[in-house]
Structure 1
C-alpha cells in the first residue's frame, strides 16, 4: 500500500494518548495526531526518527499525523493502526496471502456474532460467506524477534475472540490475523505478561477451531506491504 507523501522529523514526546510533539526536519515543532489507542510500548521512544503525513482538510483539528518510526536498532514500525486493514485488504485483492487464496470478494466492518469484525471473505458475491477475519496490528517487540499482542489489557480484543469462537462453532471459517507492523518482529505470541485473560482466551479459541495467523510487513517511508507469514508461538514469554 502506497503511503501519502511523508515528512521526516524527530519524536519529542507522546502524551494524552492521541498527541505527539514532533520536530520536523526544517526545525519546526508541531503537534501531530497519534492514531493509536494502545500503550505503544517499544515504539514510543523520544529521539527516534519519525515520519508524519499532512492534511489541509478544514475539519481537521491537527493537520499532522504520526505514521512511522525508525527504532534505535534500525527496525521500522507503523504506529498508524488505521493503515492496517487497508494493507491487509490490498493483500487479499492481490492474492498475496497464501492462506486466503481464492477469495474473490471482501466486505469490511461486518456485524456478526455480537461484534464488528474486520472482513467477511467470499469466493463469489452470490455465495455464502467463506471466512470471517479479525485483524490486529502488532508492534510490541520484546526482544530477540519476539512480538506480543496486546500491548495493554484489551477487553475488546477478548470479545472479538469470543465472537470468532461462536462463528467457528457454527461451522464458519473464523480467523484472527496478526498484522506485524514492525520489521524487527519474527514471531508472535500472546502477551501473557500484560493480559493473561487475553492469552487464555486465545488458547481456548485455537482449541475451538479459530485459526490464528500472523503476517509480517515490509515498511518504508513510501509504502507498507505484506512480506511473509510468521509463526505463532503460544508458550514463549519475554
Structure 2
C-alpha cells in the first residue's frame, strides 16, 4: 500500500515532544515540525539523528503539513530496521491483506465492514460476515517495539484500552461468534512476536484469559519500502508464561 500519493521526504530526527509533535531536519537542511501520528511510548525509536520519512499534505486547514511516517532505528542486534509509525495505517494494511488473501485464517467471508459498533460502547476494527458461518470480529494492534533482535513485542506501554478490547472479544466468542486479535508489526526486522508481560502484566493476564475463552491471535509482519508498506508475512507467536 502506498503511504502517500507523493514521494516521502527524508530527514533526521531532532526530537519528539508533546506526544503529537516532531522536529526534523530534512535532507535539504530545512528544519520542519511534523505531526506524530503515534502517541505511544515509541520505545527504542526516538534517538536523535535517526533517519525519518515524512509525508506532505496540501491541505490548507492543517497546521502542520508534514506527518512522520517511518523511522530507521538500530535494533538490539546492532542492525538497522525500518519501522512504520502511523497508527492510522494498520487497519488499512490488514484489510488490504485480507482482501488479497494473504491471511488464510480470514478468508472465505462474503462481507467486510469497518468500525462497527459492538461490546461496551466500542467499535470493532473489522467485521467479517458470511451467511454460511459465524461473524468474525477482528481487532488490530500496531506493533513497533523490539527489545530482542528479530522479536517484536506488544505493548510498549500499559494499555487498559487494549485489555478492554480483549474482554470484549471474549464476550463475542461466548455469544457464538469468532474473534481474532491481529498484531500488525510495522518493522522490517521482525521474525517472531511475543507479548511484553513485564511492561503490562494485566494485559498479558487478560490476553491469556481471552485465549482460553477462544479468542485467536495472529501476528503479521510487514515489508517496509521507501514509500509503501505491505502486510504479507505471518510470523510465529512465542509462548509466554
The TM-score with structure 1 as length reference comes to 0.94
1:88 deviation in Å?
Answer: 0.8
Larger displacement relative to structure 2 (71-80 or 131-140): 71-80
Structural RMSD (CA): 1.4
Give the length in aligned residue pairs.
234
Runs of 4 or more off by more than 3 Å in structure 1?
A: none
Which ranges in structure 1 are unaligned for 5 or more consecutive residues? none
Q: Residue 176 of structure 2 is aligned with which of 165, 168, 171? A: 171
Matches of residues 16-35 of structure 1 in structure 2 within 5 Å? 16-35=18-37
Matches of residues 63-102 of structure 1 in structure 2 within 5 Å? 63-72=65-74, 73-102=79-108
Q: Residue 181 of structure 1 is aligned with which of 179, 182, 186? A: 186
Which ranges in structure 2 are unaligned for 5 or more consecutive residues? none
Aligned to 2:52: 50
1:24 deviation in Å?
Answer: 0.5
Asked if 1:152 is matched to 2:162, the reply is no
Instruction: Sort the Cα spacing of 1:112 and 1:28 in 2 relative to 1 into closer, same or farther, 3 A.
Output: same
The TM-score with structure 2 as length reference comes to 0.93
Question: Residue 180 of structure 2 aligns to a residue in which SS?
Answer: strand
The answer as to whether partners of 2:136 and 2:177 remain within 8 angstroms in 1 is yes
Q: Would you tell me which structure has more strand in proportion to its own residues?
A: 2
1:129 deviation in Å?
Answer: 5.7
**Separation in 1 of the partners of 2:208 and 2:25?**
43
**Separation in 2 of the partners of 1:60 and 1:3?**
18
**Separation in 2 of the partners of 1:191 and 1:51?**
27
**Separation in 2 of the partners of 1:94 and 1:30?**
37
